[in-house]
Amino acid sequence: MKLKSVHIHRHWGNTRQFSCKVDFEGLHGDVSLNLNEDMAQRILEVCADLVVEAGQETAREMVATVIESTTPLPAIEGAA
């Protein structure tokens, strides 16, 4: 099965409405799931962790590129 879409919606008007629908497609048809708030929160936590991880990896790569492209400063005579 292949994840087709995830839709999470919260309406904060007079009524606190919430919906979470996850759609999958496969060789034998499609499956749609309606999830509760707890399950949706778990999905969002996994996504947030992956966003943080991707950002950290990007930062490490950017710093490594800067360090690799920088010419070392010459030693100053008499410095410790």
Q: Would you say residue 26 lies in a domain?
A: yes
Model confidence at 80: pLDDT above 70: no
Task: Quote the domain boundaries for residue 27.
Answer: 2-69
The predicted-structure confidence for 40-56, as pLDDT tens digits, reads as follows 999 999 999 999 999 99
Region 1-17: mean pLDDT is 87
| Residue with more model confidence, 12 or 53 | 53
The predicted-structure confidence for 52-73, as pLDDT tens digits, reads as follows 999 999 998 888 887 777 777 7
Per the structure, the count of domains in the chain is 1
User: Which of 8-43 are b and which e, b meaning 16 or more Cβ less than 10 Å from the residue's Cβ?
Assistant: eeeeeeeeeeeebebeeeeeeeeeeeebeeeebeee
23 Cβ contact list (under 8 Å, min separation 6): 3, 4, 5, 6, 30, 31, 32, 33
Q: Would you say residue 77 lies in a domain?
A: no
Q: Would you say residue 75 lies in a domain?
A: no
> Using alpha carbons only, how large is the chain's radius of gyration in Å?
24
Region 16-20: mean pLDDT is 89
Q: Would you say residue 80 lies in a domain?
A: no
- pTM for the model stands at 0.64
